[in-house]
Amino acid sequence: MDKLVRRYKPVAAPHSRLLIAGVVWLSVGIGLVIVSCYWFSGSAWPLNVVLAAVSLGMGFAVFSFGFSRIARKNISRIGTQADMACLFSFQSWRSYLLIALMMVMGYTIRHLPIPKYIDAIVYFTMGSALAFSSSLYFEAFLGS
């Protein structure tokens, strides 16, 4: 069984894992921002722009004080791993558990009986923080 797992385990070089991590974080971030913009469109004209701007600022704060640290830890982990390590090892298991928790929280928020612009604030904040953090992966990719 172990031989079978090793045979089909997807592996990639550190350089590739940096690029893949950046693309994944950016893709998820853009997806969340797009969904939030759709929800913001249901609000009145000046309110939706103000809410998006506030969310962008909060996203930068989440990036600065939270996600940037996670991304930097992931980047250093990639740098210390073997040349051909598992494709999904660009994040720790703890980070994957955090992702699962965030997905559950997103699903819960989306299905609560609250106005969609509140959902949009949360989604835009998290999406922009992920998009900002992806720049760290791309910077490390270009520098390697």
Residues 45-104 pLDDT 10s: 888 889 999 999 999 999 999 999 999 999 998 888 777 777 777 788 888 898 899 899
What does the DSSP 8-state code read for residue 1? -
Q: Could you give the dihedral angle defined by the CA atoms of residues 127, 129, 135 and 136, in that order, rounded to the nearest 10 degrees? A: -140
Q: What is the pLDDT of residue 43?
A: 77
Is residue 90 one of the residues assigned to a domain?
no
Distance (Å, whole) CA 8 – CA 15: 20
Which range marks the domain in which residue 71 is found? 14-82+131-144
Is residue 75 one of the residues assigned to a domain?
yes
Is residue 27 one of the residues assigned to a domain?
yes
Q: What is the pLDDT of residue 5?
A: 65
Query: How many folded domains does the chain comprise?
Result: 1
- For residues 121 and 49, is the Cβ–Cβ distance under 8 A? no
- Number of alpha helices (DSSP H) and beta strands (DSSP E) in the chain: 6, 2
Is residue 118 one of the residues assigned to a domain?
no
Helix (H, G, I), strand (E, B) or coil at 11: strand
What global pTM score does this model have?
Answer: 0.86
Is residue 59 one of the residues assigned to a domain?
yes
Is residue 1 one of the residues assigned to a domain?
no
The residue with greater pLDDT, 96 or 128, is: 128
In terms of C-beta density within 10 A (0-12 exposed, 13-18 middle, 19 or more buried), how is residue 138 classed? middle
Is residue 76 one of the residues assigned to a domain?
yes
